[in-house]
Chain A
Amino acid sequence: MVLTLSATLRVATPLILGAIAGLFSERSGIIDISLEGKMLASAFAAATVAALTDSAWVALGVGILIAGAFSLVHGYACVTQKGNQVVSGIALNILASGLTIVLGNAWFHRGGQTPNLSAKARFMALDLPGAVSLRDVPVVGPLYGEFISGHNLIVYAALLAVPLTQWVVNNTRFGLRLRAVGENPQAVDTAGISVAWLRYRAVLLGGLLTGTAGTYIAIAQNAGFSRDMTAGQGYIALAALIFGKWRPYPVLGACLMFGLLDAIAIRLQGVRVAGIGEVPVQFIQASPYLLTVILLAGFIGKAVAPKAAGVPYVKER
């Protein structure tokens, strides 16, 4: 039970980071379906750098840089060139899935995989103070030792990112302008604030967060990069963003729920339940997508996207 909860947290971490990245981008009016591609590209970059330098921190930095570069391309296409945001996102996803294999194969000759990383080059689980000594205490021991303690740094960072995002979006000047530019960019422009600069900052924040998510997947959750290793997590993050209706705490809830479903699906693999027989794990794994479609259909509340999302801003002439 505690192990499932603990696994939930680990599975949910890249979803939380990805969904929050999407939140900044979409609240500013830029649809971002390239979360998956950015996570994949930064996962590859981080694994490559970690293998070469043996430093997890340098890897994190480069992972963020690469995701930031992808974000800049997305921003340039969507903001400066006023191109189609969905098309740009798809292009980046496809580009990332091809480029990571081409470069990985050319550099490491392992069919797209990067070398296995040593513990030094990864973010390893931390034992919070007292976790070991409390281990034998009933209830509190396992709960603290396995669920609260024993994760790596990025898991805690992701959890911290949520209240921070809530504060930034709701209580800062940047947050107010961000929300305004996603709903009514004309008004923001009339107030003398640059729509383009605001949106660029939003997508760059997205790069920071997806870069962290990708790094987590490659060098914290796993010990190296393998082909298409993000496996749709960017899309689940997108689903969680919609499911959480573009607000930080509900988004966190959606990520944890999707993470829990995944953790349960892994546990139920091959298990026979009385009355049902073998549980079709595929359906549990597909449930985030199904739930999101049902939500979008308007059967669980109403999900209303930021009004200006997807529309390039053109000044009136």
Chain B
Amino acid sequence: MRGGRTPLPHWVDIGLIPLANVVLAFLVAGFIVLAIGENPLVAVRVLIAGALGDSEGIGYTLYYATNFIFTGLAVAVAFHAGLFNIGGEGQAYIGGLGIGLVLLAGDRYLPFSVLLPLTLLAGAGFGAGWALVPAYLQAYRGSHIVITTIMFNFLAAALMVYLMVNVLIAPGSMSPQSREFGPAAHLPFIHDVLAPIGINLTATPLNLSVVLAIVLCVFVWLLLWHTPFGFELRTAGHSEAAAIYAGVRPRRIIIISICLSGAIAGFVGLNEIMGVQHRLLLNFAAGYGFTGIAVALMGRNHPLGIVVASILFGILSQGGTELAFSIPTITRDMIVVIQGLVILFSGALPQLSRPWFEWLFGMLQRQVPAMRGV
């Protein structure tokens, strides 16, 4: 399937070629920066200084990375089942709605310790629920999940505009926002958590949902590679025929994996609504779902790779803000360009650089006889 004629060492296939794809994406991005008359090297320096230069930058970087881990994991889980969930955008949006509804209903009566599990359930439940219809249609009615999840992204956006403008808007508010939640419904910020033990950090939006993101990474890793269910899921993703032969029910796998994917995406709402905004509003999930695709592709659908890719995109997001500040010619939308390029090179053209490495290794083997045995 992937095989060219020259076999390459395993580490080239899983390490060097993916790296080359990301490098290509950044090279093209560099040329675009050159084309608009700026120096890409200066841009990179500003970007890294903005993202990692001080504790404030790092806090923002990790806060963005938290969202990317959620949406990246969501894409990866579905991908291992051979399905492409591009509905992360809508599932994150609706998951946030669920979280917001629980907090609006309970923030005056319930303590934080009761609210937190309820919001976790609501975020996962609403996200999974929004994914359930496309999953059902894929499994039982044969309609393509890519198309239905695209449609559901738009439906989620329309539903949210309706709810925020007509139902959930705070009385007397001009902009479509709900009232602010009470203090019991705030997820603690990391700088508040660490202050009592003597670590003083600048105030940033980074909150406890980053812990959930890491826990979910471990959970997904255990589930996919260390449980019978994970084995079934990956088998179904690899070959449906083989899966059926082995007694796996593909329809069940489709429903569970897509709902799990939606549930994980729903936690973007935890970070945004309960962690940072403390109220329901519009467009809080904007773009995170699509970045998740880039993150998953770049991280090769492995939790560890996803963490690395998320941090990289976190650096781009935070550094991009600084960049737009100090070099006004380059707007924050440059990150969107880089996302598109990463998806293009890592996802759509993954074998582009392969012939170059085949040529290189062919040369090496002819030059260095000792390598023939490798």
**Nearest-neighbor residue (CB-CB) of A97 within chain B:** B336
**Chain B interface residue count, Cβ-Cβ cutoff 8 angstroms:** 49
**CB < 8 Å neighbour of A86 from B84, B133, B148, B166:** B84
**Nearest-neighbor residue (CB-CB) of A95 within chain B:** B340
Q: Which residues of A contact B154 (CB under 8 A)?
A: 232, 235, 286, 289
A55 located at the interface, meaning its Cβ lies under 8 Å from any Cβ of chain B in the complex: no
Per-position binary interface string of chain A over residues 84-102, scored 1 when its CB falls under 8 Å from any chain B CB and 0 otherwise: 1111101111111111011
Contact call B349/A83, Cβ cutoff below 8 A: yes
B290 located at the interface, meaning its Cβ lies under 8 Å from any Cβ of chain A in the complex: yes
Most-contacted residue by chain B among A90, A103, A242, A297 (CB, 10 A)? A90
Report the tally of A-B residue pairs with Cβ distances under 8 A. 151
A239 located at the interface, meaning its Cβ lies under 8 Å from any Cβ of chain B in the complex: yes
A5 located at the interface, meaning its Cβ lies under 8 Å from any Cβ of chain B in the complex: no
CB distance from B164 to the nearest CB of A (A): 10
Within 8 A of A (CB), among B136-186: 137, 141-144, 146-148, 150-152, 154-155, 158-159, 161-162, 165-166
Contact call B147/A81, Cβ cutoff below 8 A: no
B333 located at the interface, meaning its Cβ lies under 8 Å from any Cβ of chain A in the complex: yes
Contact call B162/A280, Cβ cutoff below 8 A: yes
Contact call A112/B340, Cβ cutoff below 8 A: no
Contact call B141/A297, Cβ cutoff below 8 A: yes
**CB < 8 Å neighbour of A95 from B143, B146, B344:** B344
CB distance from A6 to the nearest CB of B (A): 26
**CB < 8 Å neighbour of B348 from A81, A238, A289:** A81
CB distance from B130 to the nearest CB of A (A): 12
Q: CA separation between A175 and B46, bound complex, in Å?
A: 53
CB distance from A154 to the nearest CB of B (A): 25
Contact call B159/A282, Cβ cutoff below 8 A: yes
Q: For the A-B complex with A33-B146, A88-B348 known, give 13 more contacts whose Cβ atoms are closer than 8 Å.
A: A90-B347, A94-B290, A95-B336, A96-B340, A98-B335, A111-B331, A235-B154, A282-B159, A286-B154, A289-B155, A293-B133, A293-B148, A297-B141
Residues of A at the B interface (CB closer than 8 Å) are 31, 33, 73, 76-78, 81-88, 90-99, 101-103, 105-107, 111-112, 232, 235, 238-239, 242, 278, 280, 282-283, 285-286, 289-290, 292-293, 296-298, 303, 305
| 30 residue pairs bridging A and B, Cβ less than 8 Å apart | A33-B146, A33-B150, A81-B351, A83-B351, A85-B348, A88-B349, A90-B293, A96-B340, A98-B335, A99-B340, A101-B336, A102-B32, A105-B329, A107-B36, A111-B331, A238-B147, A238-B150, A280-B166, A282-B161, A283-B158, A285-B158, A286-B158, A286-B159, A289-B151, A292-B151, A293-B143, A296-B137, A296-B141, A297-B143, A305-B144
